[in-house]
C-alpha cells in the first residue's frame, strides 16, 4: 500500500513531553521528591531544546503530545516547539490515567488540556494521545464531540483507520502505536520500579527490524519518544542513527500525525465498523 508522497512507509516522530507529570500522575507524593521529579525536569530543561536542534538539522517535522500542566509550567519550551513549526497534540492535563468509572474526570482533563494548549499555542489541538497507553469508550466519544481529527492511543494495527464508537458510528482517525516503539520501556528507570536499561545497539536493532517489516507491508511507523528519555546525550545519537537508516531508502515519507491523519481522511476506504469492531463488555 502506498502512503503520503507515494511512499511505502510514513515515519512519525512523536514525543510525549510529559516532564514532571509522568512522575506525579500515579504518585502525588512525588511532588515532595525533587530527585524523582528531576528526571522530568531534564526533559524540559535539556531534552526539548536538544531535540529541536536535531529536528532543525535534519529538517524533519514532529508531533509533541503535551499535557496541559506541562504547557503551562514549561511555557517557553512549549512555545519553542510551536514556533519551530511542529505539531502539538493533547496528552491530558496532568498526565492523568484514564478512569472509565469517572467519566466526569475524563471530560475535565480533556477540557483543561484543550484550554491550556489553546492559550499558550494559540490554537486547538487536532490530535490526542492518552497518557500511559490507556483510554476509554467515553474518551473516544468526547474526541469526536470536541472536533479532534485523530487519536493515537490504540495498539491494534500498523496502519491508520477510522475508529468505531460504541454505538457503531464512525469516530476519529486512529494512528496506532506499539510498546516496542516506545523509548521508555528500554531506558526509563526508577528506584521503586527498577528495570534493565538497554544499549543503543539493542534498541536500534528492534526499531530497524520493525521499520523494515512495516516498509515491506506498507504502513505507518509511529515512534513514541519522551524528551526525558531520548533527550539524554547517547540516546540522541540513537535517534540520529535511526533517522539516517530510514533515509537510506527512497520510498519513505515523514510528517506530523496531523499530516498523516489528513492524508488518510482524503484517501480512506468506505467506513467498515466490522474492520475495527469495538470490544464491548459482555452483558
Residue 181: pLDDT band (50, 70, 90) is very high
Query: pLDDT (tens digit, 9 = 90+) per residue, 31-70?
Result: 888 888 899 999 999 999 999 999 999 999 999 999 999 9
C-alpha to C-alpha distances, 250 to 53, 130, 158, 183, 215, nearest whole angstrom: 24, 33, 20, 26, 11
Contact at 8 Å (CB) between 23 and 233?
Answer: no
C-alpha to C-alpha distances, 192 to 38, 179, 195, nearest whole angstrom: 15, 21, 10
Residue 246 has phi, psi (to 5 degrees) of: -65, -30
pLDDT exceeds cutoff 70 at 191 = no
Domains of the chain from N-terminus onward: 4-267 (3.20.20.370)
pLDDT exceeds cutoff 80 at 170 = yes
Query: pLDDT (tens digit, 9 = 90+) per residue, 220-242?
Result: 999 999 999 999 999 999 999 99
Cα separation of 261 and 155, whole Å?
16
pLDDT exceeds cutoff 80 at 133 = yes
Residue 83: pLDDT band (50, 70, 90) is very high
Closest CA to 47 of 85, 80, 11: 80
pLDDT at res. 188: 87
pLDDT at res. 233: 98
Amino acid at each position: 500500500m502506498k502512503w503520503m508522497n507515494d511512499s511505502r512507509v510514513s515515519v512519525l516522530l512523536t514525543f510525549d513531553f510529559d516532564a514532571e507529570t509522568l512522575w506525579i500522575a500515579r504518585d502525588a507524593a512525588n511532588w515532595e521528591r525533587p530527585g524523582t521529579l528531576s528526571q522530568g525536569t531534564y526533559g524540559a530543561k535539556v531534552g526539548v531544546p536538544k531535540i529541536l536542534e536535531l529536528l532543525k538539522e535534519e529538517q524533519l517535522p514532529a508531533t509533541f503530545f503535551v499535557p496541559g500542566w506541562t504547557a503551562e509550567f514549561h511555557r517557553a519550551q512549549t512555545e519553542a516547539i510551536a514556533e519551530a513549526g511542529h505539531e502539538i497534540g493533547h496528552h491530558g492535563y496532568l498526565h492523568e490515567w484514564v478512569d472509565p468509572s469517572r467519566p466526569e474526570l475524563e471530560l475535565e482533563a480533556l477540557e483543561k488540556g484543550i484550554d491550556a494548549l489553546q492559550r499558550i499555542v494559540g490554537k486547538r489541538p487536532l490530535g490526542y494521545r492518552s497518557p500511559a497507553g490507556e483510554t476509554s469508550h467515553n474518551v473516544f466519544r468526547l474526541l469526536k464531540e470536541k472536533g479532534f481529527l485523530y487519536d493515537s492511543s490504540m495498539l491494534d494495527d500498523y496502519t491508520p483507520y477510522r475508529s468505531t464508537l460504541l454505538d457503531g458510528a464512525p469516530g476519529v482517525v486512529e494512528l496506532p502505536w506499539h510498546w516496542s516503539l516506545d523509548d521508555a520501556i528500554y531506558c526509563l528507570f526508577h528506584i521503586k520500579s527498577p528495570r534493565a536499561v538497554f544499549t543503543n545497539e539493542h534498541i536500534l536493532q528492534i526499531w530497524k527490524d520493525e521499520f523494515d517489516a512495516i516498509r515491506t507491508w506498507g504502513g505507518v511507523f509511529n515512534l513514541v519518544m519522551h524528551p526525558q528519555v531520548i533527550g539524554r546525550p547517547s540516546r540522541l545519537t540513537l535517534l540520529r542513527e535511526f533517522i539516517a537508516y530510514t533515509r537510506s531508502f527512497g520510498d519513505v515519507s515523514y510528517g506530523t500525525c496531523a499530516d498523516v491523519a489528513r492524508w488518510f481522511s482524503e484517501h480512506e476506504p468506505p467506513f467498515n465498523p466490522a474492520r475495527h469492531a469495538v470490544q464491548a463488555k459482555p452483558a
